[in-house]
Amino acid sequence: MKRFVPLLVVSALVLLFLVMMLSDRNPNEIDSVLIGRPAPEFSLVSLKEGAPALTTADLKTGAPVLVNFFASWCVPCRAEHENLMALAGGYRVPVIGIAYKNDPDKARGFLTELGNPFSKTGLDLDGRVGIDWGVSGVPETFLIDGDGVIRYRHWGPIVGDSLTERLLPQLKALQ
Partner 1 sequence: MIRSLTAFLMVLTLSLAVQAVAVDEKPLADPVQEARARALMKEFRCLVCQNQSIEDSNAELAQDLRMIVRERIALGDSADNVRAYMVDRYGDWVLLNPPLKSSTIFLWASPFLVVLVILFVLVGRGRRTVAPVPLSDEETAKLAQLLEDTK
Partner 2 sequence: MAGEIGHFSLILALAFALIGACVPHVGARRGDVRLMVLADRAVLAQFLMAVTAFAALTYAFVTSDFSVINVAANSHSLKPMLYKISGVWGNHEGSLLFWVLILTLFGALVSWRGKNLPLRFRSRVLAVQSLLVVGFLCFILFTSNPFFRLDPAPLEGNGLNPLLQDPGLAFHPPMLYLGYVGLSIAFSFAVAALLEGEVTPLWARWVRPWALLAWVFLTGGIALGSWWAYYELGWGGWWFWDPVENASFMPWLAATALLHSAIVVEKRDALKSWTILLAIIAFSFSLLGTFLVRSGVITSVHAFATDPARGIFILGFLGLVIGGSMALYAWRAPKLSPGGLFGIVSRESGLVLNNILLSTFAAVVLVGTLYPLFVEAAGAGQITVGPPFFEFAAMVLMSPLVVALGLGPLLAWKRGKLSRATQIAFPALVVALVAGTVLVWKTAGGYVMTAFGFGLALWLIASVLLEIAGRIKLWQAPKQALSGLAKITRAQWGMSLAHAGLGVMLLGITISEAFTSEQLLVMTPGDTATIAGYDFKFDGVAPVAGPNYTAVRGFFEVSESGAVLTTLMPEDRVYTNPPMNTTEAVIYPLVSGDLYAVVGEAAGAGRWSVRLYFKPLISGLWLGALMMMIGGLFSLSDRRLRIGMPTGKRSINNPATAKRKKWVVL
Q: Calculate helix-pair angle for 104-114, 75-88, nearest 10 degrees.
A: 60
Q: Which of partner 2, partner 1, none does residue 25 bind (CB under 5 to 8 Å by kind)?
A: partner 2
Query: Which is nearer to partner 1, 35 or 168 (by Cβ)?
Result: 35
| By CB under 8 A, residue 137 contacts partner 1 | yes
Neighbour tally for 166: CB within 10 Å: 16
Residues 86-145 that bind partner 2 (CB under 8 A): none
25 binds partner 2 (CB under 8 A): yes
Does position 160 bind partner 2 by CB under 8 A? Answer: no
State the minimum distance, in angstroms, from the CB of residue 119 to partner 1: 25
Q: How many CA atoms lie within 13 A of 126 on its CB side?
A: 5
**38 forms part of the interface with partner 1 (CB under 8 A):** no
Verify binding: residue 71, partner 1, rule CB under 8 A: yes
Q: Does 21 bind partner 1 (CB under 8 A)?
A: no
91, 119 Cβ separation under 8 angstroms: no
Pick the closest to residue 158 from 67, 94, 66, 81 (CA basis). Answer: 81
d(CA 129, CA 69): 10
**How far is it, in rounded angstroms, from Cα 137 to Cα 100?**
9
Residues engaged in binding partner 2 (CB under 8 A)? 3-4, 6-7, 10-11, 13-14, 16-21, 25, 27-28, 30-31
